[in-house]
Chains A and B, each alone.
Chain A
């Protein structure tokens, strides 16, 4: 009995490690501009949400009635954004900036039924035209795991400094 418990606990720990790795990997793939591998981390019905600010400390809470900076209800729309970058015809992404995602303080906040809610802090450094811009804020990832893989069901990005003029998908 005790042995079985230990095995179960070890599996759970392994699962949590995979979940956190996924958060870090997401940032790395964006930095390496491995767009297809990045897209593959998301569930086809992923919700990708960057809410906008209503006042100093209040975010919009209802994407169907309020304005978001980005709100997409499926991976197809993330694919659109990658498609657009790949056309090479968006001045803001040509040349692409060099980016560095720093993701810290990741914590699993809820865990049930193979679903994990993870919050993190981020800082994304973008270097373009001899200038470094720094995007900073909080992530909330909802991740679904089965025995062989984990997928992102939801990514919410709260951007703290929302005055930067380029806010493309690689800045979050």
Chain B
């Protein structure tokens, strides 16, 4: 731990960073959500240092496809070159700094900056500039020196493309550790592979990014924050709605039926997964698939593939969610109290039109920006942001399940071949956040 950074120039206003994160008592000081100086440090020490998700490879399938993404505050773009190789460039013109990729995605053999017209080929080389003939540049100038800047690290795990601004970050495989097993389930549950369905949505809320990091691991909030959704779902079941008659959508069963197993895993580097058996499994749209998996791999693996919901946080900014609908949720900080979230619905390639329809309807109705769940989370994040600075409690408390924390991986985890740093057996328990706060502190105080 870097003591100089730990005690930082916060003057007398703050204790050390390590004193803001009290994992012993399972609590964090609320100033980590509100302090602009801490936020600046997070950009530098987390968002510019670790691996960040950019896109799924199905979003840039062909030569010359490009896709704009963000790494924390920095705009970058993926571009597949003439030889099919994928590169990631900082979205900035070498001349005088204008962004050059100004559309969300597309296909281009070359990209010209619209300011003075410097143009670049798909390898990022400076091709040409207007009025090149009698330019009379400084003798030091040469076109070779003014290509696009590549982002130092770009790696792909099973189609998920990650990049890092830190040249010496350990490999992506090492970074993911046993969280890989959860990514594998996400991909392998689709026998013909996954694809991103057209029509992403991007929304912003006025709250700190770490609220979103925690939220899809938060099994405690769902039947309260989303009570109105659960009641609506019950009401649909009562009136035998044709489109949403699937009884497995009634999540309240997860809280009431104690025969269902659930829990969580903390992996190294802040990644974590929340899981629970599905209620009414035989009513789920992919039940036939579950039976198929059971034949092939046995009951336990079949449950992991399609009999349980799984939310995976790949720290700091992406969730793979296999829940009511299958989705990727990517987020990034805009300021200490504003966050942007992009949602992608993930489909299974080759699935029947009927399954596709169910998938889309569940995704839109529940998780998508116009659905009945996500806005309720955002509003609660905003209420937290508004509440943090109010005179009163100093700490965010998350000690539910303290007495039940296990350092030994449970049998379900062992069946997947994972070794978790921490393990829980109730999906409302809050020890699930320990890993991400530990990682926060590690990154914030590392060299």
Q: What residues make up the interface of A, taking CB atoms closer than 8 Å to B? A: 50-56, 60, 63-71, 73-74, 76-77, 80-81, 83-85, 87-93, 129, 162-168
| CB < 8 Å neighbour of A92 from B201, B202, B379 | B379
Minimal beta-carbon separation of B359 from chain A (angstroms): 10
Which residues of the other chain, A, contact B205 by a CB distance below 8 angstroms?
Answer: 165
Provide a sorted-by-A list of 26 A–B residue pairs whose CB atoms are within 8 angstroms.
A52-B368, A54-B199, A55-B106, A63-B360, A65-B197, A65-B198, A67-B200, A67-B360, A68-B364, A68-B368, A80-B232, A80-B235, A80-B241, A84-B228, A87-B227, A87-B228, A90-B229, A90-B375, A91-B225, A91-B376, A129-B382, A162-B369, A165-B375, A166-B378, A166-B379, A167-B369
* B204 and chain A: residue at smallest CB distance: A163
- B199 adjacent to A66 (CB under 8 Å): yes
- A69 adjacent to B201 (CB under 8 Å): yes
Which residues of the other chain, A, contact B364 by a CB distance below 8 angstroms?
Answer: 67-71
- B201 adjacent to A89 (CB under 8 Å): no
* A90 and chain B: residue at smallest CB distance: B228
Which residues of the other chain, A, contact B225 by a CB distance below 8 angstroms?
Answer: 91
Which residues of the other chain, A, contact B199 by a CB distance below 8 angstroms?
Answer: 51-54, 60, 66-68
* A169 and chain B: residue at smallest CB distance: B370
Which residues of the other chain, B, contact A56 by a CB distance below 8 angstroms?
Answer: 103-104
* A85 and chain B: residue at smallest CB distance: B228
In the complex, A166→B345 CA distance in Å? 19
Which residues of the other chain, B, contact A65 by a CB distance below 8 angstroms?
Answer: 197-198, 353, 356, 360
Query: With an 8 A cutoff between CB atoms, is B231 at the interface?
Result: yes
* A86 and chain B: residue at smallest CB distance: B228
| CB < 8 Å neighbour of A80 from B106, B236, B370, B380 | B236
Minimal beta-carbon separation of A71 from chain B (angstroms): 6
| CB < 8 Å neighbour of B232 from A64, A83, A162 | A83
Minimal beta-carbon separation of A53 from chain B (angstroms): 7
Which residues of the other chain, A, contact B104 by a CB distance below 8 angstroms?
Answer: 55-56
- A64 adjacent to B228 (CB under 8 Å): no
In this complex, which of B103, B200, B239, B372 has the most chain A Cβ atoms within 10 angstroms of its Cβ? B372
> A89-B227, A92-B375, A92-B376 in contact; A64/B345 too (CB < 8 A)?
no
* B233 and chain A: residue at smallest CB distance: A80
Which residues of the other chain, A, contact B360 by a CB distance below 8 angstroms?
Answer: 63-68, 71
- B379 adjacent to A91 (CB under 8 Å): yes
- A60 adjacent to B198 (CB under 8 Å): yes
Which residues of the other chain, A, contact B353 by a CB distance below 8 angstroms?
Answer: 64-65
Which residues of the other chain, B, contact A66 by a CB distance below 8 angstroms?
Answer: 197-199, 360
- Chain A to chain B: the 5 pairs with minimum beta-carbon distance, closest first: A67-B199, A69-B370, A52-B199, A92-B375, A90-B228
B214-241 with Cβ < 8 A to chain A: 225, 227-229, 231-232, 235-236, 239, 241
Which residues of the other chain, A, contact B375 by a CB distance below 8 angstroms?
Answer: 90, 92, 165-168
Minimal beta-carbon separation of A65 from chain B (angstroms): 6
> A56-B103, A67-B198 in contact; A50/B227 too (CB < 8 A)?
no
In the complex, A115→B199 CA distance in Å? 30
In the complex, A106→B408 CA distance in Å? 65
Q: How many CB-defined contacts (below 8 Å) exist between A and B?
A: 127
* B236 and chain A: residue at smallest CB distance: A80
Contact with A along B314-354 (1 / 0, CB 8 A): 00000000000000000000000000100001000000010
Minimal beta-carbon separation of B106 from chain A (angstroms): 7
- B368 adjacent to A67 (CB under 8 Å): yes
* B382 and chain A: residue at smallest CB distance: A129
In this complex, which of B228, B236, B243, B360 has the most chain A Cβ atoms within 10 angstroms of its Cβ? B228
In the complex, A83→B235 CA distance in Å? 9
Minimal beta-carbon separation of A127 from chain B (angstroms): 15
Query: With an 8 A cutoff between CB atoms, is B171 at the interface?
Result: no
In the complex, A91→B361 CA distance in Å? 22
Which residues of the other chain, B, contact A51 by a CB distance below 8 angstroms?
Answer: 199
Which residues of the other chain, B, contact A71 by a CB distance below 8 angstroms?
Answer: 360-361, 364
Minimal beta-carbon separation of A79 from chain B (angstroms): 9
Query: With an 8 A cutoff between CB atoms, is B383 at the interface?
Result: yes
Query: With an 8 A cutoff between CB atoms, is B427 at the interface?
Result: no
- B239 adjacent to A76 (CB under 8 Å): yes
Which residues of the other chain, A, contact B407 by a CB distance below 8 angstroms?
Answer: none
Which residues of the other chain, A, contact B202 by a CB distance below 8 angstroms?
Answer: 162-163
- A67 adjacent to B379 (CB under 8 Å): no
Query: With an 8 A cutoff between CB atoms, is B58 at the interface?
Result: no
- A164 adjacent to B232 (CB under 8 Å): no
Which residues of the other chain, A, contact B105 by a CB distance below 8 angstroms?
Answer: 55
In this complex, which of B225, B229, B376 has the most chain A Cβ atoms within 10 angstroms of its Cβ? B376
| CB < 8 Å neighbour of A77 from B228, B243, B379 | B243
Query: With an 8 A cutoff between CB atoms, is B446 at the interface?
Result: no
In this complex, which of A51, A83, A91 has the most chain B Cβ atoms within 10 angstroms of its Cβ? A91
- A64 adjacent to B200 (CB under 8 Å): no
- A64 adjacent to B376 (CB under 8 Å): no
Which residues of the other chain, B, contact A163 by a CB distance below 8 angstroms?
Answer: 202-204, 340
- A76 adjacent to B203 (CB under 8 Å): no
B180-220 with Cβ < 8 A to chain A: 197-205
* B201 and chain A: residue at smallest CB distance: A52
Query: With an 8 A cutoff between CB atoms, is B363 at the interface?
Result: yes
- A70 adjacent to B370 (CB under 8 Å): yes
In the complex, A119→B443 CA distance in Å? 53
* A168 and chain B: residue at smallest CB distance: B375
Query: With an 8 A cutoff between CB atoms, is B40 at the interface?
Result: no
Which residues of the other chain, A, contact B231 by a CB distance below 8 angstroms?
Answer: 83-84, 87, 89
- A89 adjacent to B228 (CB under 8 Å): yes
Which residues of the other chain, B, contact A84 by a CB distance below 8 angstroms?
Answer: 228-229, 231-232, 372
| CB < 8 Å neighbour of A165 from B243, B368, B378, B383 | B378
